[in-house]
Amino acid sequence: MMNFKGLQFRFLALVAVATLVSMLVTGTVAYLRSYDHALGSSRATLNGLIKAIDRSAAIGAYAQDKVLLQELVDGMAQHQLVARVEARDPQGTVLVYKDNPGAQGATSLGAIRHRLISPFDKHESVGEIVVMADSDHMQAAAREEATTLSIMFVLHSAMLAWLIYALGDRIVSRPIVKLAGALRRMKPGTTEQLSVAAIHQFDEIGSLVEGANALLRTNQEALHKERELRAEVERMEAQYRQIFDSSSAGIFVLGPTGQLINCNPTVLRILGMDTQDMAQLSGTDFLKQVFVHPELATGLIEEAMAAGDTVTHDLEVKHHRDGVRWVHCLFSVQRAARRAEGVMYDITERKRAELAALRQAEHDSLTGLKNRAACDAAIDHFLDEAARFRVPVSLLYVDLDGFKRVNDTMGHKAGDQVLVQCASRLRQAMRRSSDVLARVGGDEFVAVLYGVGPGDKVLMEIASEIVAGLCQPFVLEDGQQAHLGGSVGMACYPLHAHHRKQLMAVADEAMYAVKHSGKNAFAMAVRHA
């Protein structure tokens, strides 16, 4: 049974279509050419008849011998291709004519006109012979001849197509179909080989069978190597899985949108999660679920993608029991796989120690405010930013009034309690956590306000609150009360100074001017830069 999707059917269909097209084209061309040739042959026959009587007709026309002309015309009119013959004088007058009684149709193909030349002067015309052809007869004969020839061409094309198909099927199609069937029946990894008929041992079919057998042998070897390789890969995967699961570092893999693809148990331990909590992370946005500041982690991944290298940073993660812990993260991006790979180490204790050391280095141990060094660094940073963005910076220099009396009469312990409460009241007067408040001396404090100028109402409000707060009584641990006051000098960048030392000096001058004028007040610097 023929497979209608197989090579044999397609070959047969192709041959049939090609044959049909060839028959249509060659049959049509043969018919038209034969038809034109038959019509041309008929007209040539008529011209031959005219030439046969040319000499005699010229003499008859010259001598005006109608009898001779009639005989000639009657003779030509008997031909089956002729419908009518006329002999005319030079003026076109019909001298004699003859109709063929057996003519089938009119002369739609046109008349053949032949000029008669004088037998004595080749330049003189003595008349003409007009032969009107039997067009129906000529066309019928032409069609018959054309039809016969086109049928012969069609039959020839059909026989040639059948021969091509038979030879192609015998030599090419059938062996290939047989070869395909044998290959389809073979099982992967088989040691069987294809056989080839003797007739095809040295042709392309034989080469195809030889190539297929070589491919079968190669495939068998490849399968054997693949089995060995698969066993080795499984062994290595088990080893890597053991390393992955037992690693002290948390390892995780993220998809293109940040969803968690996989992570090892260490990640769960770092986050304070159990194995059953893994479902909470799987398929979710891992960065938002885990990191306190996911935008920082996203930025690191984008940086790693742009640089094509690993980037590292210390980040805070959400711990299910301890609140927040610190991890050292390494991010890398596999561009082809469109995934990010991360490694995290728990550095909470080290980070807390670093932060504690940093705070101790930058903050006053008694009040918790920034110390002199941290204050200087903060002012320098504010001034740099202000210069870049063309914004003002205001500095308030605060000095306690009457603090020495508290120390001398009530003791240093009481003085420390007063300083702690002063720091608290100064914090309450500040409006933004981004502003700087520092203790720069025994009873001297500095407040730095970024983006606040001399004409801003908030500057006067803060100064007023500071003075009012410092004038309130300070209740000590033993129930005693200490009464102080405060003098505040203010200077602004860039109105009064352009550098930190100059700005602090101008504010200090304004503060001493307040002290000399009565204390417990605030004043703006008068010396401009």
The string of DSSP letters for 234-284 reads HHHHHHHHHHHHH-SSEEEEE-TTSBEEEE-HHHHHHTT--GGGHHHHBTS
Position with higher pLDDT, 468 vs 101: 468
Residue 436 and residue 370 in contact, taking contact as beta carbons nearer than 8 Å: yes
Output 112 or 465, whichever has higher pLDDT: 465
CA 433 to chain centre: 46
Whole-angstrom Cα distance, residue 6 to residue 13?
11
What's the average model confidence in pLDDT over 177-202? 72
* DSSP-derived 3-state class of residue 176: helix
In the structure, what pLDDT confidence band is assigned to residue 3 with cuts at 50, 70 and 90? low
What is the average pLDDT score of the chain?
85
For 6-34, the pLDDT digits (tens) are 556 676 677 777 777 877 887 788 788 88
| Residue 108: predicted pLDDT | 45
Domains detected in the chain: 7-146 (3.30.450), 247-354 (3.30.450.20), 363-524 (3.30.70.270)
Identify the CA nearest to 386 among candidates 494, 495, 502, 491.
494
Contact criterion met (CB below 8 Å) for 357 and 263: no
pLDDT, mean of residues 51-67? 89
Least confident of 105-114, 156-165, 170-179, 468-477: 105-114
pLDDT at 106 exceeding the cut of 60: no
Is beta strand 474-475 parallel, antiparallel or unpaired with respect to 444-450? Answer: unpaired
Q: What is the pLDDT of residue 245?
A: 63
Most confident range, picked from 80-94, 105-119, 265-279, 392-406: 392-406
Name the DSSP class of 477.
T
For the segment 371-423, what is each residue's pLDDT rounded down to a tens digit?
A: 999 999 999 999 999 999 999 999 999 999 999 999 999 999 999 999 999 99
State how far the Cα of 490 lies from the Cα of 308, in Å rounded to an integer: 51
Cα separation, 320 vs 130, in Å, equals 121
> Between the ranges 48-52, 209-213, 508-512, where is the mean pLDDT highest?
508-512
Q: Strands of 266-380 (E only): list them.
A: 311-319, 323-334, 339-346
Contact partners, residue 181, CB within 8 Å, separation at least 6: none
Written as one string, the DSSP assignment of 420-455 is: HHHHHHHHHH---TTSEEEE-SSSEEEEEEET--TT
- Higher pLDDT pick, 138 / 307: 307
Q: In this structure, what are the phi and psi dihedrals at residue 53, rounded to the nearest 5 degrees?
A: -110, 10
| 3 state SS of 331 | strand
Top-confidence residue, 165 or 449: 449
**SS3 per-residue string spanning 385-419:** HHHHHCCCEEEEEEEEECHHHHHHHHCHHHHHHHH
Sign of the dihedral defined by the CA atoms of residues 410, 413, 417, 420, in that order: positive
Question: What is the structure's pLDDT at 214?
Answer: 79
Question: Between residues 88 and 163, which one has the greater pLDDT?
Answer: 88
pTM as predicted: 0.43
Cβ atoms of 403 and 515 within 8 Å: the answer is no
Contacts 24+ apart (CB under 8 A), 28-31: 28/150, 30/146, 30/149, 30/150, 30/152, 30/153, 31/146, 31/147, 31/149, 31/150
Q: How far apart are CA 492 and CA 256, in angstroms?
A: 50
